[in-house]
Amino acid sequence: MRWSLASLILALAIPALGYHKPRPFNARYQRHSSARGRPAGDDLTKSPYFNENSSGFAVNGTALPLVDFDVGESYAGLLPIGNMNDTSSQLYFWFFPSTNPAAQQNKEILIYLTGGPGCSSIGELLQQNGPISWQPGTFLPIENKWSWHRLTNAVWIDQPVGTGFSQGTPTATSQEDVARQFLGFWKNFVDTFTLQGYKVYVTGSSYGGMYAPYISSAMLDRNDTAYFNVSGMAVWAGLYSKIPMAQDIPIATYVDKWKEALPFNDTFRAGIKAVDAQCGYTAYLDEFLVFPPKGVQPSILPSEDPATGEAHPECQLFIGVFLATMELNPCLNAFDVTSHCPILFDPIGFAAGTFTLPSAFPTPYFNLPAVKATLNAPANTTWTFCQDQLTHPVFVNGVDTSLNAGPGSQPVLPGVIDRTGNVILGHGSRDFLVLPDQTLLTIQNLTWQGQLGFRARPQEPLFIPRHDNLNVSTAAGAGVVGSSHSERGLTWFGAAMAGHMVAQDQPAVAFRMVEVLLGRVEGFESTAPFTVDMGGGGEGGLPAGEVLGTGTVDVGGSVGYGYTGWYGNGTGYGGGKWNGTG
């Protein structure tokens, strides 16, 4: 059984659509931005990260094509996954030392990992949490005041081998292999930038729910605080459990919750309900998504054949719902159930790239030769945001045995919580790729600090301080914008008005998450102002006389519907056809 988030989107959703001819873009896209300001690099020698070994990685902050501001000090390039002299396999990084003195004082380094598998982390630097923001549908990049490097030292890494600008032939068959590669790279990275003794924070999203726990766990196993002092981990929209937990089991409940965005006809709704009942999905949520949990979830789900472990074909509910949604909303983007037509131009060529980019901007940003040259990227590597896992798998034969032959990252998550006491797992409520209930369903099956799951139902608020939300570089919701809950070193949050890409949709929530992770504020319920200036006069917290109340993202629930439809052959769960009866 072969599966990936990226191939689901690429192989399943997109080809169903026709290409909409875009309006031509301004010819300036093809030129480089004019040089302005001081040449970056003139004061680099004062940086604690600039030395004889790192100098070759320095990026000229004013030289990035189309970027109209100085991105400041940064370093990018390739480092081997083993011996520094062996360049056969290398990972690619883009490292932004923090503008915040607290990061150097506290000796912190944060790692960000995009998922996929096979999706590039620098792609999300540009569209989620980095200093430069170039969102789909926008004309030019702008400065992102929610960039995580404003809080701490942050590095975006294209991994495992086979992803983004990384070099080499993929050899990984499991998350243990991915972690081994990563730790080899990390030792070289720490040596290059003299980061020995730094606290390491591992973050990621989506398939990063596999990567981050396995990498954190492998780092902690080394007992080597000079290189691997993991002090916390944070993931959103993570995949931690086998696929049906993230899609089929919660889908009927999700359809009901989002009925304005998923307005299926009566026949289809009845079909969803019938399949849901037949396969025991909502019943599963009723039994296991409770607080405290009743018990450990069995390895074999009710929809699976105990002999083979494979899902019964008629129980593959999610794909059918997804395709039926595409019929109603042909521009659906699985990252956000509320997405709609038109499909936006995407400067990294993800959605748009599948249709071909506009003729005025035919090349994904990171493939522009001048961008590659500025970022010390390999000139002869074609960068793709998400490698198609059917044609260019990052796991041998496209199989990650940690997911296909095991319950995802569940085996290592408790150890990371127990050893750091600082793990955050969040989800955007609009995510239509990894359904939000999976995160809590996973948490309710983990035993950490000697106890199973959360004892109490999550209902506390997630508060975002007031800031300058009318400026394009800081625009983001404020106030109570979700829910949160913490027990025994594990924190969950649910972000309202956010899909799969939490930092893209609710950048202030992602920024606050990093403040919580670093211990700069007490938690998501804190009403303390942001710890760096976000504009708006710095008034920050709760207006006088107001109460926070409860969170605004519901947890679980059981009001399932069901469905019908047809799904493809082999791009998702291994093929089959809906029998049309449900």
Ligand X SMILES: *[C@@H]1O[C@H](CO)[C@@H](O)[C@H](O)[C@H]1NC(C)=O
Judged by CB under 6 A, the number of residues near ligand X is: 44
How far CA 257 is from CA of 22, 253, 523, in Å, comes to 34, 6, 27
Residue 145 beta carbon to ligand X: minimum distance, rounded to whole angstroms: 7
Q: Residue 356 burial (CB < 10 Å; 0-12/13-18/19+)?
A: exposed
Distance of alpha carbon 130 from alpha carbon 94, whole angstroms: 10
Q: Is 397 in the site for ligand X (CB under 6 A)?
A: no
Site for ligand X in 242-281 (CB under 6 A): 264-265, 267-268
The binding track of 145-174 with respect to ligand X, each residue x by CB under 6 A or -, is ------------------------------
Question: Cα–Cα–Cα angle for 413, 416, 417, nearest 5°?
Answer: 90
Residue 547 beta carbon to ligand X: minimum distance, rounded to whole angstroms: 31
Distance of alpha carbon 275 from alpha carbon 425, whole angstroms: 30
Phi and psi at residue 533, to the nearest 5°:
-70, 125
Tell me which stretch binds ligand X (CB under 6 A): 176-184, 222-230, 254-262, 351-359.
222-230
**Candidate list 72, 302, 358, 378; residue touching ligand X; CB under 6 A:** 378
Tell me which stretch binds ligand X (CB under 6 A): 14-22, 215-223, 450-458, 477-485.
215-223
Tell me which stretch binds ligand X (CB under 6 A): 110-118, 182-190, 225-233, 272-280.
225-233
The 3-state DSSP class for residue 263 equals coil
Task: Between 51 and 356, name the residue whose CB sits nearer to ligand X.
Answer: 51
Q: Is 197 in the site for ligand X (CB under 6 A)?
A: yes
Task: Between 264 and 385, name the residue whose CB sits nearer to ligand X.
Answer: 264
> Which residues are catalytically annotated?
206, 431, 500
Q: Residue 424 burial (CB < 10 Å; 0-12/13-18/19+)?
A: buried
**Candidate list 45, 105, 223, 397; residue touching ligand X; CB under 6 A:** 223
Task: Between 188 and 339, name the residue whose CB sits nearer to ligand X.
Answer: 188
Distance of alpha carbon 368 from alpha carbon 361, whole angstroms: 10
Distance of alpha carbon 532 from alpha carbon 535, whole angstroms: 9
Residue 132 beta carbon to ligand X: minimum distance, rounded to whole angstroms: 14
Distance of alpha carbon 113 from alpha carbon 99, whole angstroms: 21
State the number of CA atoms in the 13 A half-sphere of 487 facing the CB: 21
Site for ligand X in 282-341 (CB under 6 A): 296-297, 299, 324, 327
**Tokens at residue 262, please?**
């998923």
- Enumerate helices (H) and strands (E) in the chain, giving the number of each: 18, 15
**Candidate list 194, 278, 367, 526; residue touching ligand X; CB under 6 A:** 194
Residue 68 beta carbon to ligand X: minimum distance, rounded to whole angstroms: 12
State the number of CA atoms in the 13 A half-sphere of 559 facing the CB: 10
**Candidate list 199, 419, 466, 500; residue touching ligand X; CB under 6 A:** 199
Site for ligand X in 417-456 (CB under 6 A): 445
**Tokens at residue 282, please?**
């909502």
Phi and psi at residue 337, to the nearest 5°:
-65, -20
Distance of alpha carbon 575 from alpha carbon 1, whole angstroms: 10
Tell me which stretch binds ligand X (CB under 6 A): 12-20, 56-64, 126-134, 545-553.
56-64
Tell me which stretch binds ligand X (CB under 6 A): 32-40, 425-433, 452-460, 500-508.
32-40
Task: Between 222 and 312, name the residue whose CB sits nearer to ligand X.
Answer: 222
Provide the binding-site residues for ligand X, judged by CB under 6 A: 35, 39-41, 51-53, 60, 62-63, 83-85, 194, 197, 199, 221-223, 225, 229, 231, 241, 264-265, 267-268, 296-297, 299, 324, 327, 378, 380, 407, 410, 445, 471, 473, 535, 565, 569-571
